[in-house]
Amino acid sequence: MTKRTNEQFHFLTHVVGKMNIPFTISVAVFEERPALQECFQQQCQKITADLDQVNAVFSPFKPDSLVSRYAAGEREVLLDSTDFQEVFLMADQANHVTEGFFDPFFKGQYDPTGIVKGWAIEKIFNQRLRPLLTDPLVAGVALNGGGDIQAAVANDSELTWMTGIENPRHPGYLIGKYPLTNAALATSGVNKRGEHIKRVASPLMQVTIVDYSLTIADTWATAGIAAGTKRFLELIKKHQLTGVLIDAKIGEISFEKGQVHHAQTI
């Protein structure tokens, strides 16, 4: 069988602006048909509604969100939403696994922002996009939220989702591209949002993690920035992590399944 390059697939894409970031919904197909277009539009509408619901529950900027109400002392909101309960338990587990570097109470009150986006993208992806792979005309699906992406491809597809990683020292330029098939990628850094989390003093500028789960990748990217380069390199080896970090003094360090080495590109 002749392998297809990415240029030979047709891509259906739609961008939704929510929570101050763009969410890009992508479906790669072997050939375009009206029924596929209609199905894609329906899923885009559902994903838009899903993102609105996530924002209503988890936004730390909305005073009536469950996160804001819980932070204000309304502990009974834990009973109001299974999603809230799920994230609460996951954030607590992430705090334990990362040895406290992922901290949902980093501001002195509850704020699980560092895990919510990854969790939401992965959950919506699994519910709305992954099932489309049962259609023989669908080669792959992906959901990207502000550079964090969950992706999958069909078993008979040669598709790869090429995901760029921005250079924090030169915004707008890439340090490299990572080819994803059935995997997720998350990046956390200080170049755009500044010092937005409690962290160890360190020249660590950016962490990108690749994993099968975007929730896990997002958690470790956040924890890595909090831990700083020296401690995070130890955690990389201990937890067999894959990805790349940018340190202002050392430069780029890539790592795969816990094995650390220097690299100019991924």
Apex 211 CA angle, 209 and 212, nearest 5: 155
Q: What is the CATH number of the domain that holds 116?
A: 3.10.520.10
Structural domain contains residue 1: no
The pLDDT of residue 196 is 45
CB contact at 8 A, 118 and 215: yes
Across the range 11-24, mean pLDDT stands at 96
The pLDDT of residue 190 is 78
What single DSSP character describes residue 157? -
% pLDDT > 70, the chain: 92
Q: Which of 248, 246, 244 is nearest to 259 (CA)?
A: 244
Q: Which of 172, 185, 189, 174 is nearest to 229 (CA)?
A: 189
How far apart CA 176 and CA 143 sit, in angstroms, is 20
Task: Give me the number of domains the chain comprises.
Answer: 1
% pLDDT > 90, the chain: 80
The pLDDT of residue 194 is 45
CB contact at 8 A, 185 and 164: no
How far apart CA 27 and CA 130 sit, in angstroms, is 10
Structural domain contains residue 83: yes
How far apart CA 255 and CA 244 sit, in angstroms, is 6
Sheet arrangement for strand 148-153? 10-18, 21-29, 138-145, 148-153, 183-189, 204-211, 242-247, 251-256, 259-262
The pLDDT of residue 195 is 42
pLDDT over 60 (residue 14): yes
pLDDT bracket for residue 266 (50, 70, 90): very low
Structural domain contains residue 22: yes
The pLDDT of residue 265 is 40
For 242-253, what is the HEC assignment?
Answer: EEEEEECCCEEE
* pLDDT tens-digit readout, 83-133: 999 999 999 999 999 999 999 998 889 999 999 999 999 999 999 999 999
Q: Which of 62, 67, 32, 25 is nearest to 46 (CA)?
A: 25
The pLDDT of residue 192 is 56
Across the range 145-167, mean pLDDT stands at 94
pTM, to two decimals = 0.92
Work out the mean pLDDT of the chain and round it to a whole number. 91
pLDDT over 50 (residue 7): yes
Q: Which of 103, 129, 112 is nearest to 227 (CA)?
A: 103
Q: What's the burial of 149, exposed, middle or buried (CB within 10 Å: 0-12/13-18/19+)?
A: buried
Structural domain contains residue 244: yes
CB contact at 8 A, 83 and 50: no
Structural domain contains residue 23: yes
The pLDDT of residue 208 is 97
pLDDT bracket for residue 1 (50, 70, 90): very low
The pLDDT of residue 172 is 84
pLDDT over 60 (residue 37): yes
How far apart CA 159 and CA 155 sit, in angstroms, is 10
Give the least confident one: 52-66, 149-163, 195-209: 195-209
Structural domain contains residue 257: yes
Instruction: Estimate to the nearest angstrom the gap between the alpha carbon of 113 and the chain centroid.
Output: 12
Contacts 24+ apart (CB under 8 A), 14-19: 14/40, 14/41, 14/44, 16/44, 16/47, 16/48, 16/51, 18/48, 18/51, 18/52, 18/55, 19/51, 19/54, 19/55, 19/59, 19/117
> Which domain does 14 fall in, by range?
6-262
The pLDDT of residue 80 is 86
Structural domain contains residue 73: yes
Instruction: Estimate to the nearest angstrom the gap between the alpha carbon of 51 and the chain centroid.
Output: 14
pLDDT bracket for residue 2 (50, 70, 90): very low
Give the least confident one: 56-70, 146-160, 189-203, 225-239: 189-203
